[in-house]
């Protein structure tokens, strides 16, 4: 495999945004950071589990780490209280209008740090270093930033593309199996919507994927031994990142084509919300996997999509240790949750229905009874 970095350039809202995927891509960080030295916001898991990386990364710009704020990662960081803490810290450091904020962490940390960058002094420089698979191929790319408010996800946010997204798969060494599976759900989705050759490669790797991530592969909350060398992650991450970049580059403000990224998400969001806080809680990736499996079944039933493709997608999700069915919420509750989905426009929920690899119907209509048939 080549050790050259893969570079993906986007122009989002007239601003250039570059994704660099490569070994030590992070070392190229300084190129994106003009003077003055940046302020760093770092995911606590990364600070704890990857101290050497962090040191290397910051060596050029912040040797004594004085400009580093460590915050706990995960969804809880996307709260207004944490945002307020970030603002106080930026104020204490006197971060100026021409300053740069660098976020290093999972998608949640990047969402809140990016929002802080978007709003501090009406917007300062922003560079992100995603450290989970999901963040590398999805959350870090495309300029959306947000926090959760009043129990509603991503309710307050801004578009603020990162000047640089520095992707280094070395960070994935410490990712627990559950985190890998969440990212794999988005990787499968991305291959389906934009890269049939990647989909075929994932399928060819099914035995290896099953051994690493399948239902009986090992503990959910432990890192996955041997994972980095087992699969061509850098290549796959680069290709998935390129698909996301291409889609958002065509439709930054989500008027049309960007909705392809919602494949599996309309039902997925509803199931994630319905199960939250219960013993059977579905993570985002798990809920999206069920959502994808269901829309493939619905599309097949309508003759929109070949049965063979639906079977292949469902098998690939299963191989990755992801669920493809789950207990059905009561019909009225499901109806309510689907209509709460903010992707709803013009009075109806627009579903993304698959017709084939890279072929989608973005205006699909699906009724609750259609869905319930495919849940337990």
Ligand X SMILES: NC(=O)c1ccc[n+]([C@@H]2O[C@H](COP(=O)([O-])OP(=O)(O)OC[C@H]3O[C@@H](n4cnc5c(N)ncnc54)[C@H](O)[C@@H]3O)[C@@H](O)[C@H]2O)c1
Looking at the DSSP bridge assignments, the partners of residue 16 are: 11
String of DSSP letters for 201-266: HHHHTHHHHHHHHSTTSS-TTSB-TTHHHHS-HHHHHHHHHHHHHHHHHH-TT-SSGGGGGGTTHH
Residue 144 catalytic?
A: yes
Q: 69, 86, 135, 260: which one contacts ligand X (CB under 6 A)?
A: 135
# chain residues binding ligand X, by CB under 6 A: 28
Interactions with ligand X, residue window 77-106 (CB under 6 A): 78, 105-106
Residue 244 catalytic?
A: yes
Among the listed ranges 58-66, 137-145, 199-207, 268-276, the one in contact with ligand X (CB under 6 A) is: 137-145
The phi and psi torsions of 367 (rounded to 5 degrees) equal -100, 155
Residue by residue, what is the 3-state secondary structure of 39-77? EEEEEHHHHHHCHHHHHHHHCCCCCCCCCEEEECCCHHH
Binding mask of the shown chain, residues 176 to 215, with x at each position contacting ligand X by CB under 6 A: ---x--x---------------------------------
196-204 and 177-194 helices, crossing angle to 10°: 140
Sheet architecture: strand order including 39-43: 6-12, 15-21, 164-167, 125-130, 100-105, 39-43, 68-71
* Catalytic position from the list 234, 259, 265, 297: 265
Binding mask of the shown chain, residues 141 to 170, with x at each position contacting ligand X by CB under 6 A: -x-x---------x----------------
Among the listed ranges 86-94, 139-147, 210-218, 343-351, the one in contact with ligand X (CB under 6 A) is: 139-147
Residue 253 catalytic?
A: no
CA pseudo-torsion sign 249, 251, 253, 254? negative
Contact indicator for 138, 163 with CB cutoff of 8 Å: no
Binding mask of the shown chain, residues 49 to 68, with x at each position contacting ligand X by CB under 6 A: x-------------------
Q: Does 315 bind ligand X (CB under 6 A)?
A: no
d(CA 228, CA 67): 31
d(CA 29, CA 32): 6
> CB-wise, 5 or 132, nearer to ligand X?
132
What element of type H or E holds 307?
Answer: helix 307-319
Find the shortest distance in angstroms from Cβ 134 to ligand X.
4
Can you say how many angstroms the Cα of residue 6 is from the centroid of all Cα atoms in its chain? 19
Find the shortest distance in angstroms from Cβ 146 to ligand X.
6
> CB-wise, 288 or 334, nearer to ligand X?
288
Q: 75, 315, 318, 341: which one contacts ligand X (CB under 6 A)?
A: 75
Q: 41, 83, 95, 139: which one contacts ligand X (CB under 6 A)?
A: 139
Q: How far is CA 327 from CA 274, 278, 287, 302, 364, in A?
A: 11, 12, 11, 23, 24
> CB-wise, 267 or 310, nearer to ligand X?
267
Q: Does 134 bind ligand X (CB under 6 A)?
A: yes
Residue 343 catalytic?
A: no
CA pseudo-torsion sign 252, 256, 261, 266? positive
> CB-wise, 305 or 317, nearer to ligand X?
317
Q: Does 138 bind ligand X (CB under 6 A)?
A: yes
Q: Which residues bind ligand X (CB under 6 A)?
A: 43, 45-46, 49, 73-75, 78, 105-109, 111, 131-132, 134-135, 138-139, 142, 144, 154, 171, 174-175, 179, 182
Catalytic site positions: 122, 144, 186, 244, 254, 258, 262, 265, 269, 284
């Amino acid at each position: 495999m080549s050790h050259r970095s893969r570079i993906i350039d986007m122009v989002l809202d007239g601003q250039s945004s570059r994704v660099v995927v490569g070994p030590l891509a992070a070392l190229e960080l300084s190129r994106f950071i003009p003077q003055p030295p940046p302020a760093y916001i770092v995911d606590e898991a990364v600070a704890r589990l990857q101290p050497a990386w962090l040191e290397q990364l910051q060596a050029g710009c912040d040797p004594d780490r004085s400009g580093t704020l460590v915050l706990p990662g995960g969804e809880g960081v996307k709260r207004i209280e944490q945002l307020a803490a970030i603002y106080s810290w930026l104020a204490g450091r006197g971060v100026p209008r021409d300053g740069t904020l660098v976020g290093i962490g999972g998608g949640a940390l990047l969402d809140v740090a990016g929002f802080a960058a978007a709003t501090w002094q009406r917007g300062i420089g922003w560079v992100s270093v995603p450290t989970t698979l999901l963040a590398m191929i999805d959350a870090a790319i495309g300029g959306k930033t947000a926090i959760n408010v009043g129990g509603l996800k991503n309710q307050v946010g801004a578009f603020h593309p990162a000047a640089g997204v520095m992707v280094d798969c070395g960070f994935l060494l410490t990712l627990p199996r559950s985190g890998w599976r969440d990212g794999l759900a988005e990787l499968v989705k991305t291959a389906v919507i934009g890269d049939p050759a990647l989909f075929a490669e994932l399928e060819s790797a099914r035995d290896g994927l099953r051994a690493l991530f399948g239902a009986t592969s090992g503990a959910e909350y432990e890192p996955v031994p041997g994972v980095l060398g087992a699969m061509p992650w850098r290549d796959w991450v680069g290709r998935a990142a390129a698909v996301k970049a291409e889609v958002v580059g065509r439709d930054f403000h989500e008027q049309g084509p960007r909705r392809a990224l919602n494949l599996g998400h309309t039902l997925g969001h509803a199931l994630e919300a319905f199960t939250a806080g219960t013993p059977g809680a579905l993570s985002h990736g798990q809920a999206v996997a069920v959502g994808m499996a269901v829309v493939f079944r619905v599309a097949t039933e309508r003759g929109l999509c070949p049965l063979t493709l639906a079977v292949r997608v469902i098998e690939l999700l299963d191989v990755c240790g992801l669920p493809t069915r789950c207990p059905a919420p009561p019909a009225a509750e499901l109806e309510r949750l689907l209509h709460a989905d903010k992707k709803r426009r013009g009075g109806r929920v627009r579903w993304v229905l698959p017709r084939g690899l890279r072929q989608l119907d973005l205006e699909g209509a699906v009724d609750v009874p259609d869905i319930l048939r495919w849940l337990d």
